[in-house]
């Protein structure tokens, strides 16, 4: 039996869903589970992970960790892993982890498998698969010649099985301090974007728009439906490339992978690269004028119609239902 270390990510109030997915996968193994939780607030959240089978939380709450600095994070996390020598390290394929863990892998000479969508453990081995060519096929990844194996799993792809109890006992909290570092760069200021909506990867309902919306000014139709449903607005790459909305809203192979309960795709054709990011959604509703659009092959419900007529009608219906 070895050790799995899960790199956690959290918001102010809770760990992100991706962290619970990793803990669920780790819990099915025979290995001991530890976590690394960094940043302000990590210490108050860590005790709840006892219910997830976590024996130890290595916590660093230094204010300098509030904003991601690759150099600082690599030194800290690399140092912890060098000392702990776990068999496996699990992290979500978030923007932060995709930047951080290749650096860490290089520093500690670990093997790394990124962007995995299937993960299980068998003895000392991990069974890992990752999609290739926008999901046209999957590759099985095997580790060799490395003591520590780092696995990054796409968020919203693995199941979450609820914790056994909410008691939150039994986690040994090991507080660590930042080692002195001669950093070459420092983050001086982060200016937050205007959106207060939930990030796409965390959203339960997404209303996404494509090129068929014909211009950024028409995205207000999507925003009206989204605010009625408590949803987050997403977009296809065509729309992002046209400069209508920011890249943070892009869903797909080169954008975010999402798996909401409800995904409403408006005037999106359903190119394979878009499907690669949203086909894990539970219910997909497609609105498109073209009855042959590929999105209808993935959709649970399809509306063949003009988004400029369907969206206001849907918004009005939902508003009436809610009142
Ligand atoms: C390497 C690579 C990576 C990529 N990554 C991504 C990615 O991450 N995400 C992504 O989305 N794409 C990605 N793409 C681009 C992808 O191939 C498509 O070009 C893109 O998804 C098309 O966007 P769209 O569906 O909005 O536009 P279009 O394909 O132009 O589709 C517009 C749709 O709107 C419909 N329509 C038009 N008017 C209306 C109306 N009034 N009401 C209703 N429907 C209407 C049309 O029938 C059509 O189906 C990638 C491509 C490459 C090569």
Q: Specify the pLDDT at position 157.
A: 82
Residue 96 has pLDDT above 60, yes or no: yes
The rounded Å distance from CA 117 to ligand 1 centre is 24
Helix axes 70-84, 95-108, angle to 10 degrees: 50
User: Do 3-175 and 200-322 show the same overall fold?
Assistant: yes
The rounded Å distance from CA 193 to ligand 1 centre is 25
Q: In angstroms, what CA-CA distances link 230 with 94, 162, 209, 238, 309?
A: 23, 24, 16, 25, 21
Domain range 3-175, its CATH number among 3.40.50.620, 3.30.565.10, 1.10.3210.10, 3.20.20.70: 3.40.50.620
The rounded Å distance from CA 267 to ligand 1 centre is 8
* Residue ID of nearest Cα to ligand 1 atom 11: 236
pTM of the predicted protein model: 0.79
Q: Specify the pLDDT at position 221.
A: 98
Domain layout of the chain by residue ranges = 3-175, 200-322
Q: Specify the pLDDT at position 136.
A: 80
Cα–Cα distance for residue pair 291/293, rounded to 1 Å = 6
Instruction: Encode pLDDT of 198-246 as tens digits.
Output: 789 888 899 999 999 999 999 999 999 999 999 999 999 999 999 999 9
The mean pLDDT value for 253-279 works out to 94
| More reliable by pLDDT, 220 or 95 | 220
Residue 167 has pLDDT above 60, yes or no: no
* Residue ID of nearest Cα to ligand 1 atom 27: 211
Contact 257, 157 (CB under 8 A): yes
Residue 74 has pLDDT above 60, yes or no: yes
Quickly state the pLDDT bin for 164 (edges 50, 70, 90).
Answer: low
SS3 247: helix
Assess if CATH 3.30.420.280 describes domain 200-322.
Answer: no
- What are phi and psi for residue 112, nearest 5 degrees? -140, 135
The rounded Å distance from CA 190 to ligand 1 centre is 32
* Residue ID of nearest Cα to ligand 1 atom 22: 238
Task: Give bridge partners of residue 175 from the DSSP assignment.
Answer: 59
What is the average pLDDT score of the chain?
A: 92
Please enumerate in sequence order all residues whose Cβ is within 8 A of that of 312, keeping only pairs 6 or more positions apart, or say none: 221, 224
Ligand 1 atom closest to the Cα of residue 211 is: 26
Helices (H), the chain: 17-27, 42-45, 70-84, 95-108, 219-229, 237-241, 272-278, 295-298, 307-322
SS3 6: strand
Dihedral sign of CA atoms 225, 227, 228, 233 in order? positive
The mean pLDDT value for 45-50 works out to 92
* Residue ID of nearest Cα to ligand 1 atom 7: 252
Residues with CB under 6 A from ligand 1: 210-212, 236-239, 250-255, 267-269, 271, 273-274, 277, 287-290, 293, 306-308
């Amino acid at each position: 039996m070895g050790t799995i270390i899960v790199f956690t990510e959290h918001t102010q109030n809770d760990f992100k869903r991706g962290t619970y997915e990793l803990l669920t996968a780790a819990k099915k193994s025979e290995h001991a589970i530890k976590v690394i939780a960094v940043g302000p607030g990590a210490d108050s959240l860590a005790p709840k992970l006892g219910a997830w089978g976590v024996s130890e939380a290595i916590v660093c709450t230094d204010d300098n960790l509030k904003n991601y600095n690759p150099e600082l994070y690599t030194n800290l996390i690399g140092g912890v892993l060098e000392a702990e020598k776990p068999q496996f390290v699990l992290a979500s394929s978030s923007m932060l982890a995709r930047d951080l863990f290749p650096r860490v892998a290089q520093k500690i000479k670990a093997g790394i498998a990124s962007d995995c969508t299937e993960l299980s453990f068998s003895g000392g081995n991990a069974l890992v698969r990752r999609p290739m060519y926008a999901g046209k096929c999957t590759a099985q990844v095997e580790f060799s010649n490395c003591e520590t194996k780092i696995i990054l799993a796409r968020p919203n792809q693995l199941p979450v099985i609820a914790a056994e109890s909410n008691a939150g006992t039994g986690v040994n909290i090991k507080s660590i301090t930042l080692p002195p570092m001669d950093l070459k760069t420092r983050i001086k200021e982060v200016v937050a974007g205007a959106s207060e909506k939930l990030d796409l990867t965390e959203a339960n309902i997404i209303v996404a728009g494509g090129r068929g919306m014909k211009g950024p000014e028409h995205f207000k139709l999507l925003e009206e439906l989204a605010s009625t449903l408590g949803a987050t607005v997403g977009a296809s790459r065509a729309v992002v490339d046209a400069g209508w909305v920011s890249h943070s809203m892009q869903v797909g192979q080169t954008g975010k992978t999402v798996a909401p309960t409800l995904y409403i795709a408006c005037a999106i054709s359903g190119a394979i690269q878009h499907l690669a990011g949203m086909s894990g959604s539970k219910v997909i509703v497609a609105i498109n004028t073209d009855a042959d659009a590929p999105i209808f092959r993935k959709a649970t419900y399809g509306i063949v119609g003009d988004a400029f007529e369907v969206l206001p009608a849907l918004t009005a219906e939902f508003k009436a239902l809610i009142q």
